[in-house]
Structure 1
Amino acid sequence: MFKKYGIIGLILIVFVEINFFLKIEPFARWYFPIVWVGYILLVDAIIYHISKESYLMNKKKQIFLMLILSALIWWMFEYINFRLGNWDYINIKLFISDFEKLLFGWISFSTVIPAVFETVHLLTTVHLFDALKLKNKHMITKRLLYGMICAGVISFILIMAFPKYLFPSIWVSFYLILDPINCLHKQPSIIKHLKDRKLSIPIALFVGGILCGLLWEFWNFWALPKWIYTFPWGGPKIFEMPILGYLGYAPFAWELYAMYYFVRNLLMKKKEEII
């Protein structure tokens, strides 16, 4: 039987879609956490219906870590954006107080990692990319891993120094730093999957990041409080995002994956992969 919280999630999504036109407050200005909580509930219920296992039903500690870490990570990106100046928010005066605005931010940002991971978990649950493998094994040396870490650190420094030209690299630099560290500490990593010729998780993250990106931009487009982009280039737009900008969502998912397992290793000392 389909879990009731999945039905609640679907109702929340439908309500938000209708309310984009009705604009009933306070739900109109709180669309982001409402629709993404709905999405997370719905996808988790679908996963459980297929496999009888899901984050909300079987991995509550991990989902709690995702929520907290997700909010902290996106606040970090917000501070970095003070230097990059890539996006801005409009109609935030609709919030009745600074406290409401802050609460909205914390709850909204906490949904980012769960949304991406649930999407990726769904893709792996239906075994969409299981047959894809690299033909040959590749040697991953410590020199290569340390080289990637150095490249990530250097790229982040250069981004901060020349944000106008190098800002897209922000969606890669943390991956370059943290995924090799995870690999060195025998934690789940994209590098380890590639070393073992396994492409299912890397591609599922790649696709899941873009799918979530499309939904973020689609739901943002119709909203009252919303973000807009101030890229110096990027070409024609789909919703508010320049087309080239969607390419950033794929490595962003890899970056979230690396960040999550880096922090989880510090706090929980677990080695199993939860996607």
Structure 2
Amino acid sequence: MMNWQRKYPLHGWLGFLLVAVFWFLNWYLEGLRTHLAFFPLWLGYILAVDGLVFMRKGTSLVSRSKAGFILLFVFSVPFWWLFELFNTVLQNWLYTGREYFSDIAYALYASLNFSTVLPAVFVTAELVATFRLRILDKPVWKTGRNLPLVFFISGWTMLFLFLVWPRIFFPLVWVSVYFIIEPVNYRLGFTNLLQHTEKGNWRPVWNLWIGVLACGFFWELWNYYSWPKWTYNLPYLNEPKLFEMPIAGYLGYLPFSLELFALYNLLTGIFRIKALKNYLHPE
């Protein structure tokens, strides 16, 4: 039951403190600083939002399973390195300031910072899920049982297209992984979104989409005055921009959230790890 009167947890207050301190340090210190400030800033965001979730419904990612919560950080690292691997072909974004770090130092700092992506998206999606919104809870289009096969074939086709002709098909990187992985989860009986959309229930999808857009806003906002920072260089759709991100690029966050969800459930299913289930539904 949702209750704003529930006591806000200590880890949430710690999160707000980390955001306040490291947001200031990340924007106003001179010289290199973001490689040190990024992780505590986003850890603060994650803890603060998780605290709001706990206050809203009496449970949260942290309170349900601290080990599972930490595992999100671990899984997040290879997930984002996969997209970094794709970007060696696409060259859609680059990190200014990379030249100040050795390869080993860069890999370590990058991995630490990449670890925050998955928990940030999941905890924000869970916060969205605590709100009952009639427009999002209404049953809509029911996806058919043939969709997994269509997804799987389309996903591999899209992967081929953006790897062979990256200047034309680069946006497909944010769709192809989901189209490939989701049918595998569906076939193997792992947690997946299609099991909900087959019944016309799109609420888990909406929660992920709204959650990742909120994260995307803060990723781009906090990156704007960072150093080192990332910048974008798209073959087209490069203008106009909100912060460093082209406006059209924010649409890529939507399927990206689905890819994170699919990859997470694939790994937890393969290794028989107890997944953090049922957090995408309003309670």
Residue of structure 1 aligned with 2:252, choices 245, 248, 254:
248
| 1:131/1:160 CA distance change after superposition, 3 Å | closer
List alignment gaps of at least 5 residues for structure 2.
1-6
1:106 and 1:136 mapped to 2: Cα distance?
Answer: 39
List alignment gaps of at least 5 residues for structure 1.
none
**What is the RMSD computed on CA atoms of the aligned residues?**
2.1
1:201 maps onto 2:204 in alignment: yes
Which residue does the alignment assign to 2:127?
A: 122
Q: Percent identity?
A: 32
Verify the 8 A CA contact 1:178 1:259 in the aligned structure 2.
yes
| 1:53/1:24 CA distance change after superposition, 3 Å | farther
1:81 and 1:256 mapped to 2: Cα distance?
Answer: 17
| 1:2/1:135 CA distance change after superposition, 3 Å | closer
1:240 and 1:16 mapped to 2: Cα distance?
Answer: 20
Which residue does the alignment assign to 2:164?
A: 161
| 1:242/1:114 CA distance change after superposition, 3 Å | same
Q: SS where residue 38 of structure 1 aligns?
A: helix
Which residue does the alignment assign to 2:29?
A: 23
1:261 maps onto 2:260 in alignment: no
Per-residue CA shift, 1:100-133, capped at 9, x if unaligned?
3222111110110000000000000223468523
Which residue does the alignment assign to 2:218?
A: 215
Residue of structure 1 aligned with 2:50, choices 31, 36, 44:
44
Verify the 8 A CA contact 1:208 1:250 in the aligned structure 2.
no
1:244 and 1:156 mapped to 2: Cα distance?
Answer: 20
Which shifted more, 66-75 or 111-120? 66-75
Which residue does the alignment assign to 2:11?
A: 5
| 1:138/1:216 CA distance change after superposition, 3 Å | closer
Verify the 8 A CA contact 2:208 2:258 in the aligned structure 1.
yes
Residue of structure 1 aligned with 2:151, choices 148, 153, 160:
148
Report how far residue 243 of structure 1 moved. 0.7
Report how far residue 81 of structure 1 moved. 0.6
1:239 maps onto 2:243 in alignment: yes
Report how far residue 83 of structure 1 moved. 0.4
Report how far residue 28 of structure 1 moved. 4.4
Which shifted more, 28-37 or 84-93? 28-37
May I ask how many residue pairs the two structures share in their alignment?
A: 272
Q: SS where residue 89 of structure 1 aligns?
A: strand
Report how far residue 134 of structure 1 moved. 2.7
Residue identity in the other structure for 1:123: V
Q: If the length of structure 1 is used for normalisation, what is the TM-score?
A: 0.91
| 1:57/1:263 CA distance change after superposition, 3 Å | same
Report how far residue 64 of structure 1 moved. 2.8
